[in-house]
Structure formats: structure tokens, C-alpha cells
């Protein structure tokens, strides 16, 4: 692995950007210099890194001189404008937005599944959508064992998926309701506290949302399965952090619960938590702050001849975003 890398974080003051910096430090990433970048209004703030307070700089077209790897988490518009600038300056970009995910020339990577794709980059590597990552962490080991054909899935997505303001909104509404006040709304179209919203991202003409179709298209690319099919309903729930997904999957080969559990146990980055006799199954509250995802409630699916149903959960800000991005950067450092 290369040492003494010059790292930039675009969107450093956002929820994911802060987690990226913490993750770089926690995993002892070989960064000799860290440059946090954000909008002009955040310039001058400081962020802790390895015992020092590092000043945030304004993102400009001159921000990437000498940068080896630039981690982006500032939205698709910012990525579309500044990622090519960073590449032109000599950096490899790992982008957490949707701007480049479906570009055929850009690898879409979950390192536990397709780390080799990192070596095929032309300067930009895309980080998948958070709910897609958590889902394929459980689905891919089962695919390797049985050959997945299609899934039906419902997500239970934490407000952290909307950024820091989603968390603020849930906290505020809980306080307002506890004080017998009307819940005020800024982030979501309806009250999120004590409610669930079957609405994540914008609606498309066919009635699905962009978030739902991301799981279809991104899973195909990550697992290299162009014929893979998925019908997904994405739901926002009043959980601060960590996404959960209920999946029913149909496979090419005959399935067994025992073999499915063995496939999960031997897979990296995913833990088995499947002991219903002791009420053991993945909970978003327990997964908050944890690197690994968990899968449980594994059972034969009643509607498919070769089907399994399961429940998978993972920290949206870590494996769903910051951790996966840093893991990709670790693969870049090996090149």
C-alpha cells in the first residue's frame, strides 16, 4: 500500500464527510495530509483529525493541487463539476453521489464484492447508494451459493440518509410532539416522527422512485448480473441511523437455510444474527456505529420454489457511505 498520501474530503462538514474523516483516522489510513473542503460558508471551521484541528478550506477549482485521492460527498452537482477537475489535477476521485454510478467507464464498487474493479478506473470510482450496499452485502454471498434471479424488497431507511438535517428534523419533531406542539416540517413532505413515509427520493413516471430504481441498476452493475430483476419499495422510518431491508429472493439453484447461513458466515463484512429462539435478529439501533452489516430471519420463501427471505441491516453513514468510500480508497492505495 502506498504511504504518505495527500487526501482531500469534499463535503467535509456534512454528516458523511465527518464520518469519512473519523474512518480514515480509525483505520489508520496512510494520509500524510488531509484537506477538508466545503462551501464558502463552512470555510475556516476546524475538524479534528489525529489530535489536531484541521481548517476547512473553500472548494475551488484550485483545491486539488498535489492531491492523490479525493473523497467526494457533497451532492451530484458538485461531483459533476469538480470531480473532473480533481482528476485533471492528478487525483483519483471516490465519489459518494449518484453522478457517475451508471457511467460505463466508472467502476461501481463494494470492495467485499468487486474490489478488482478499482484497478479499471479512469480517475473516478463510484460509491453505490446506501440501501444498495447494505442489500448486496447479504445478497451477494447468497448469489454466489445459489445464483440470484430476482428479488422483491422493502427498505426501512433511517433519516441519516437525508443528511444531518434529517436527523435534526426527527429530533425536533419528537420534542415538539412531546410538548404538545405541532410538528414542523422542512426536510420531509410529511411528519416523520412516529410515522413512516413510502417515499425516498423523487417519483418517476412509472410510479417508482429514483431510490428504488437505483437498487435495480446498481445491483446489476456491482454483481455483474445484467439480467437481475428487482421490485423495490423504499420507506423512510423514524430511526436516526442504520438502514434495514426485507428481501425475498428467487435463485437458480435449490436453496437451503443451512447452506445460506454457511454462505453468510464465510463472507467478509456481514455477520449472521439469526437466533429467533432468543429474539436474535439485526436491529438498526444495535448496528449504529458498527462497520459490519448483519443478516437474520433467514427462511425459505413461501412464494418461490427456490426462494429465501431475509432481513439485513447496516449503518447508513458507515458501510452505506463513509466506510465503503474509505475501503475503496484503501484499494486505490494498493495500486
DSSP string, 233-245: EEEE-S-SS-EEE
| Complete DSSP assignment for 299-311 | EE-SS-TTEEEEE
Distance from C-alpha of 200 to C-alpha of 263, rounded to nearest angstrom: 31
Distance from C-alpha of 297 to C-alpha of 272, rounded to nearest angstrom: 10
> What is the three-class DSSP state of 191?
coil
The one catalytic residue among 143, 234, 243, 293: 243
Do residues 163 and 13 touch, judged by C-beta distance below 8 A?
Answer: no
In angstroms, what is the C-alpha Rg of the chain? 20
Q: What is the domain partition of the chain in residue ranges? A: 5-128+321-334, 132-316
Tell whether the torsion through CA atoms of 25, 31, 34 and 36 is positive or negative: negative
pLDDT value at residue 229: 97
Distance from C-alpha of 84 to C-alpha of 93, rounded to nearest angstrom: 9
Residue 130 annotated among the catalytic residues of the structure: yes
> C-alpha grid cell for residue 234?
423504499
Note the Cα 335 to chain centre separation in Å: 23
Task: Write down the number of H helices and E strands in the chain.
Answer: 9, 14
pLDDT value at residue 278: 98
> C-alpha grid cell for residue 327?
475501503
Task: Name the fold adopted by 132-316.
Answer: Dihydrodipicolinate Reductase; domain 2 (3.30.360)
pLDDT value at residue 164: 85
Q: What CATH homologous superfamily does 5-128+321-334 map to?
A: NAD(P)-binding Rossmann-like Domain (3.40.50.720)
Distance from C-alpha of 121 to C-alpha of 119, rounded to nearest angstrom: 6
Closest CA to 142 of 281, 284, 283, 310: 310
Residue 6 annotated among the catalytic residues of the structure: no
> C-alpha grid cell for residue 15?
454528516
**Cα maximum dimension of the chain:** 60
Q: Which residues pair with 8 in a beta bridge?
A: 35, 70
Q: How far is CA 131 from CA 109, 243, 299, 310, 319, in A?
A: 14, 7, 21, 15, 10
pLDDT value at residue 163: 87
pTM of the predicted model as reported, rounded to 2 decimal places? 0.96
Report the relative pairing of strands 229-236 and 124-126 from DSSP bridges: unpaired
Contact partners, residue 142, CB within 8 Å, separation at least 6: 148, 249, 251, 260, 263, 264, 308, 310
Q: How many CB atoms lie within 10 A of CB 105?
A: 10
The one catalytic residue among 130, 143, 234, 293: 130
Do residues 245 and 155 touch, judged by C-beta distance below 8 A?
Answer: yes
Report the relative pairing of strands 229-236 and 46-49 from DSSP bridges: unpaired
Q: Tens-digit pLDDT profile for the chain (335 aa)? A: 777 899 999 999 998 999 999 999 999 999 999 999 999 999 999 999 999 999 999 999 999 999 999 999 999 999 999 999 999 999 999 999 999 999 999 999 999 999 999 999 999 999 999 999 999 999 999 999 999 999 999 999 999 999 889 999 999 999 999 999 999 999 999 999 999 999 999 999 999 999 999 999 999 999 999 999 999 999 999 999 999 999 999 999 999 999 999 999 999 999 999 999 999 999 999 999 999 999 999 999 999 999 999 999 999 999 999 999 999 999 999 99
Amino acid at each position: 500500500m502506498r504511504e504518505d498520501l495527500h487526501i482531500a474530503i469534499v463535503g467535509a462538514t456534512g454528516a458523511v464527510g465527518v464520518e469519512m474523516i473519523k474512518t480514515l483516522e480509525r483505520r489508520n489510513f496512510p494520509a500524510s495530509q488531509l484537506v477538508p473542503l466545503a462551501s464558502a460558508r463552512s470555510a475556516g471551521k476546524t475538524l479534528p483529525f489525529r489530535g489536531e484541528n484541521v481548517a476547512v478550506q473553500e472548494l475551488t477549482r484550485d483545491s486539488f493541487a498535489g492531491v492523490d485521492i479525493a473523497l467526494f460527498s457533497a451532492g451530484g452537482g458538485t461531483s459533476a463539476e469538480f470531480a473532473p477537475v480533481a482528476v485533471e489535477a492528478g487525483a483519483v476521485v471516490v465519489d459518494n453521489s449518484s453522478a457517475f454510478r451508471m457511467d460505463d467507464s466508472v467502476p461501481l464498487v463494494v470492495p467485499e464484492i468487486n474490489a478488482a474493479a478499482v484497478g479499471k478506473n479512469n480517475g473516478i470510482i463510484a460509491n453505490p447508494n446506501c440501501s444498495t450496499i447494505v442489500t448486496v452485502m447479504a445478497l451477494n454471498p447468497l448469489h454466489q451459493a445459489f445464483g440470484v434471479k430476482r428479488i422483491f424488497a422493502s427498505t426501512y431507511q433511517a433519516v441519516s440518509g437525508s443528511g444531518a438535517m434529517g436527523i435534526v428534523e426527527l429530533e425536533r419533531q419528537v420534542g415538539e410532539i412531546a410538548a404538545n406542539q405541532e410538528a414542523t416540517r422542512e426536510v420531509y413532505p410529511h411528519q416523520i416522527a412516529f410515522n413512516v413515509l413510502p417515499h425516498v427520493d423523487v417519483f418517476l413516471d412509472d410510479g417508482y422512485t429514483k431510490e428504488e430504481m437505483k437498487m435495480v441498476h446498481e445491483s446489476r452493475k456491482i454483481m455483474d448480473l445484467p439480467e437481475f430483476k428487482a421490485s423495490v419499495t423504499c420507506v423512510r422510518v423514524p430511526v436516526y441511523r442504520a438502514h434495514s431491508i426485507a428481501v425475498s429472493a428467487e435463485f437458480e439453484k435449490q436453496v437451503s437455510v443451512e447452506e445460506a447461513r454457511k454462505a453468510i458466515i464465510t463472507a467478509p463484512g456481514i455477520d449472521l444474527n439469526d437466533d429467533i429462539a432468543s429474539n436474535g435478529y439485526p436491529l438498526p439501533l444495535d448496528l449504529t456505529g458498527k462497520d459490519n452489516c448483519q443478516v437474520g430471519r433467514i427462511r425459505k420463501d413461501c412464494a418461490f420454489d427456490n426462494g429465501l427471505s431475509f432481513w439485513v441491516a447496516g449503518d447508513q453513514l458507515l458501510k452505506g457511505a463513509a466506510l465503503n468510500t474509505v475501503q475503496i480508497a484503501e484499494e486505490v492505495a494498493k495500486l
